[in-house]
């Protein structure tokens, strides 16, 4: 999700300084007032709302264990047959992971929002590994998001061609090979092979005609051919799969990858014989990567009236419930809804309820993160953010309550994400004793929420330790893998190269 400098980018947790202090914006302060008659009928105080919220969001150990167990059970059900659980458990068709032996020049293209990113990587085999990388980001014009499939893919291919033209002398193809590309495509796709997948529907504000129901790899290959760009897609992946591949290239103990940013997802290495819904599938390695699409998980989650109201008013009611409780798109909005209720029912900010506070998503996850970093006595940053983003004047007492709300929502999110990770690890361990808990196991993490929200990150780590216990959790390493999906896509193109016999 891209936003202007006047508001924060949720996925990257970017905080423009001007939004915290010194903003010249004058909010409307008296759009709606709470009358004395309304006040007299209000029986719910701010303290009661906060106490109830903390009670409903609580994640004691039994709740975390239930979530972890349910995640493992839903994974098995989703592997048994399509539609077996909320989790889609999609085969990635990645059965050749990078080994380090890969050599040559490979490209990556990452399309997941209003920008796309192109990258080239020169690989030098087991001794030199990654010799050089270069990357560029290109903005997609708004009109192309509502145009035709051919227009969009021609624009993307053109950006890729311009980038390829800038190849310097340190990048070179192996003799007898053509340029190959790893394509990270973060929209709902029914994958049919390592280098093909049918677009199910556009999301994230795209409404391009002519693509749903078509193979997106064929669309891109045809666009490159029209331009005379001598390059072909060798691997189609989503960002979680790319992150796993990129991290495993450097560390063979990586078994799981999790994205925690604007949205969320997780994938892991699975045995082919543990996938009943694909009995005829074979892989020479005996393993593949499963894309869980865990944002759709919903079993046993501690939900509040604010979650249910937000879900009911969303564009996908009843769907992506786990994502709506743990990801960057939604945490700030839940906080806004809670403090709006406090303002209405308990006059948290006095008699007026500004229009901005009533506006969905006016408070973003970057704002609640910034508020939680405020250690000043009078919570000046909290006051500035509330004034600039929600249009409210606040006293120190009200700011402290807002901080409590932020902490309650980020704590629940981080701890539930940790329980989800344990659920994946449990499932893998239960199927293959000693695979996970008997040795070092790495979970690769990417996404701005995990990277930039220290309280959330700590709650996640503490949750994993609490569920597994100190001894078992010592072997579980959660590592940040920044921008891992880009290089991961290039590495998967190399691992699935049509010329891999040459290295």
Greater confidence (246 vs 171) lies with 246
Domain boundary among 237, 264, 286: 237
Give yes or no: residues 226 and 109 share one domain: yes
Q: Which residues in 470-487 are b (16+ Cβ under 10 Å) and which e? A: eebbebbebeebebbbbb
Residue 33, pLDDT above cutoff 90 = no
Residue 12, pLDDT above cutoff 80 = no
Residue 11, pLDDT above cutoff 70 = no
Residue 192, pLDDT above cutoff 80 = yes
Give yes or no: residues 102 and 78 share one domain: no
What does DSSP assign to residue 246? H
Separation CA 269–CA 281 (nearest Å): 15
**pLDDT for the residue numbered 282:** 56
Give yes or no: residues 149 and 29 share one domain: no
Domain region containing 332: 1-92+251-482
Give yes or no: residues 146 and 33 share one domain: no
Q: Predicted confidence band at 503 (pLDDT cuts at 50, 70, 90)?
A: low
Give yes or no: residues 316 and 203 share one domain: no
In a domain, 255, yes or no: yes
Which residues are 209's β-sheet partners? Answer: 148
In a domain, 503, yes or no: no
Residue 188, pLDDT above cutoff 90 = no
Which structure tokens are listed for 79? Answer: 């592997």
Give yes or no: residues 309 and 364 share one domain: yes
Q: Predicted confidence band at 492 (pLDDT cuts at 50, 70, 90)?
A: very high
Q: Read off the pLDDT of each residue in 31-60 and give the average, rounded to a whole number.
A: 71
Residue 254, pLDDT above cutoff 50 = yes
Q: Predicted confidence band at 292 (pLDDT cuts at 50, 70, 90)?
A: very high
Residue that the structure tokens 């839940």 belong to? 334
pLDDT mean across residues, the chain:
87
Give yes or no: residues 299 and 424 share one domain: yes
In a domain, 487, yes or no: no
Catalytic site positions: 204, 239
Which of 7-11, 70-74, 192-196, 348-352 shows the highest mean pLDDT? Answer: 70-74
Residue 62: CATH number of its domain = 3.40.367.20
pLDDT in tens, 353-407: 889 999 999 999 999 999 999 999 999 999 999 999 999 999 999 999 999 999 9
Which of 216-220, 279-283, 429-433 shows the highest mean pLDDT? Answer: 216-220
- The total domain count for the chain is 2
Give yes or no: residues 69 and 135 share one domain: no
In a domain, 6, yes or no: yes
Separation CA 52–CA 346 (nearest Å): 14
Task: Name the percent of the chain lying above pLDDT 70.
Answer: 89
- Output the CA–CA distances (angstroms, integers) from residue 410 to 102, 200, 311, 444, in the order listed: 41, 32, 18, 21
* 36: phi then psi, degrees, rounded to nearest 5: -65, -30
In a domain, 243, yes or no: no
Give yes or no: residues 212 and 265 share one domain: no
Separation CA 377–CA 57 (nearest Å): 27
Give yes or no: residues 198 and 272 share one domain: no
Separation CA 303–CA 298 (nearest Å): 10
Which structure tokens are listed for 166? Answer: 């800038």
Give yes or no: residues 162 and 29 share one domain: no
Give yes or no: residues 174 and 291 share one domain: no
In a domain, 494, yes or no: no
**pLDDT for the residue numbered 281:** 56
In a domain, 260, yes or no: yes
pLDDT in tens, 299-323: 999 999 999 999 999 888 999 999 9
Run of H or E including 143: none
Separation CA 165–CA 194 (nearest Å): 27
Nearest CA-CA partner of 247 in 460, 11, 482: 482
Separation CA 246–CA 446 (nearest Å): 11
The model's pTM is 0.85
Contact 306, 339 (CB under 8 A): no
Cα 277 to the chain's mean position, in Å? Answer: 27
Cα 46 to the chain's mean position, in Å? Answer: 33
Q: Pairing state of beta strands 32-33 and 476-480?
A: unpaired
Separation CA 266–CA 480 (nearest Å): 14
Separation CA 318–CA 339 (nearest Å): 24
**pLDDT for the residue numbered 127:** 82
In a domain, 246, yes or no: no
Residue 116: CATH number of its domain = 3.30.420.40
Domain boundary among 179, 208, 237: 237
Domain boundary among 213, 237, 261: 237
pLDDT in tens, 401-421: 999 999 999 999 999 999 999
**How many H helices and E strands in the chain?**
17, 15
Residue 45, pLDDT above cutoff 50 = yes
User: 15-19, 66-70, 474-478, 482-486: which has the minimum mean pLDDT?
Assistant: 15-19
Q: Read off the pLDDT of each residue in 155-178 and give the average, rounded to a whole number.
A: 87
């Amino acid at each position: 999700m891209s936003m202007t400098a006047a508001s924060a980018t949720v996925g990257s947790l970017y905080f423009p300084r001007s939004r915290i202090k010194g903003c010249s914006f004058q909010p409307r302060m008296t759009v709606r007032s709470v009358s004395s008659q309304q006040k007299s009928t209000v029986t719910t105080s701010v303290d009661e709302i906060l106490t109830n919220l903390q009670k409903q969001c609580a994640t004691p150990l039994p709740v975390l264990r239930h979530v972890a167990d349910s995640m493992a059970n839903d994974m098995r059900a989703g592997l048994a047959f399509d539609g077996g659980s909320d989790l889609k458990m999609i085969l990635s068709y990645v059965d050749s992971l990078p080994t380090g032996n890969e050599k040559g020049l490979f490209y990556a293209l990452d399309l997941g929002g209003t920008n796309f990113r192109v990258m080239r990587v020169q690989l030098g085999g087991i001794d030199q590994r990654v010799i050089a990388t270069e990357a560029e980001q290109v903005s997609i014009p708004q009109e192309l998001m509502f145009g035709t499939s051919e227009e969009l893919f021609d624009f993307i291919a053109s950006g890729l061609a311009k980038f390829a033209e800038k190849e310097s002398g340190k990048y070179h193809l192996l003799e007898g090979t053509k340029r190959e590309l790893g394509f990270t495509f973060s929209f709902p796709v029914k994958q049919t092979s390592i280098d093909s997948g049918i677009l199910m529907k556009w999301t994230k504000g795209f409404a391009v005609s002519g693509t749903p129901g078509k193979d997106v790899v064929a669309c891109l290959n045809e666009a490159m051919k029209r331009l005379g760009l001598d390059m072909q897609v060798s691997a189609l992946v989503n960002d979680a799969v790319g992150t796993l591949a990129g991290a495993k290239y450097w560390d063979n103990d990586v078994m799981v990858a999790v994205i925690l940013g604007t949205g969320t997802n997780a994938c892991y290495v699975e045995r082919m014989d543990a996938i009943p819904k694909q009995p005829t599938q074979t892989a020479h390695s005996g393993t593949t990567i499963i894309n869980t699409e865990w944002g759709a998980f919903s079993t046993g989650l501690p939900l509040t009236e604010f979650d249910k109201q937000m879900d009911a008013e969303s564009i996908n009611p009843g769907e992506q419930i786990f994502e709506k409780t743990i990801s960057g798109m939604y945490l700030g909005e839940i906080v806004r809804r809670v403090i709006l209720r406090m303002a209405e029912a308990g006059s948290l900010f006095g008699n007026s309820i500004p229009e901005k506070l009533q506006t969905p998503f006016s408070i973003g996850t970057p704002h609640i993160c910034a508020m939680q970093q405020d250690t000043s006595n009078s919570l000046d940053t909290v006051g500035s953010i509330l004034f600039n983003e929600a249009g409210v004047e606040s006293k120190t007492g009200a700011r402290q309550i807002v901080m409590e709300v932020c902490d309650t929502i980020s704590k629940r999110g981080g701890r539930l994400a940790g329980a989800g990770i344990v659920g994946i690890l449990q499932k893998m361990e239960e199927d293959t004793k000693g695979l996970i808990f008997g040795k070092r196991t790495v979970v690769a993490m990417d996404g701005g929420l995990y990277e930039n929200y220290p309280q959330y990150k700590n709650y996640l780590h503490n949750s994993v330790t609490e569920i597994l216990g100190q001894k078992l959790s010592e072997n579980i390493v959660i590592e940040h893998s920044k921008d891992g999906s880009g290089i991961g896509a290039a590495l998967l193109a190399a691992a699935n190269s049509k010329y891999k016999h040459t290295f």
